[in-house]
Amino acid sequence: MNALLRISAWIDAVTEIAGTIARYLVLAIVAIGFTNVVARYSGRFIGARLTSNAWIEVQWYLYSIMFFLGFGYVLKHNVNVRVDFLSTYWSAQRRAWIDLVGTLLFLVPFCMIGIYATLNPVLLSWGRLPDGSFGTWEISPDPDGLPRAPIKSMIIVAFGLLLMAALSHTIKCIAIITGHRAQETMDAVAPNAPPAET
């Protein structure tokens, strides 16, 4: 179990890095959006074109990446939306059982299906041809548009990060259920739950 908890800790470290990057992307999005608006109105005032669609697409690319990187981070910190109000009154072990079953039956298969379903469209966006060779990338149809392939690839990265976070969450649930280092993992999985059943 200790080896699995070390793997979980490594996954959590990767998830934290992704979450930190997502946090800083917020600043970049705001800065680009503000600069784009100022450039657009300044350009109208002086009669010159100071901005382009590329900057608008960069802004929504970063906005998408922020969410993609945040999926696993949200799961790690247990701030995802929970609709089961009863779980507030359950012990950490009972919540761990419910989370374990839900993660293995729904979240892990969802991530795997997501990766499988998006793999071919992403490869096509990178220009994969029917003979297996690669041609030109998919480009935005808008004037001055950016390549679509990199942002579409982030969908697979997002599912991959969420799958890793789900595996880490599974390990923590098992640790709570079996009593291995339960106090250290309890806060990560069920921070508001009553003490574990003895």
pTM as predicted: 0.82
Which residues touch 156 (CB under 8 Å, ≥6 apart)? 115, 118, 119, 122
Neighbours of 160 (CB within 10 A): 16
Place of tokens 């009669």: 47
The tokens for 185 are 């993992």
CB 72 within 8 A of CB 165: yes
DSSP state, residue 84: -
Place of tokens 């997501």: 114
Name the helix (H) or strand (E) containing 48: none
Sign of the torsion formed by the C-alpha atoms of 63, 107, 11 and 84: positive
Per-residue pLDDT of the chain (198 residues; tens, 9 = 90+): 788 889 999 999 999 999 999 999 999 999 999 998 898 888 888 877 778 888 889 999 999 999 999 999 999 988 877 767 777 777 888 888 988 999 999 999 999 999 999 999 999 998 888 777 888 888 888 888 889 999 999 999 999 999 999 999 999 999 998 887 554 444 444 454 444 444
Under a CB-based contact definition with an 8 Å cutoff, are residues 46 and 57 in contact?
A: no
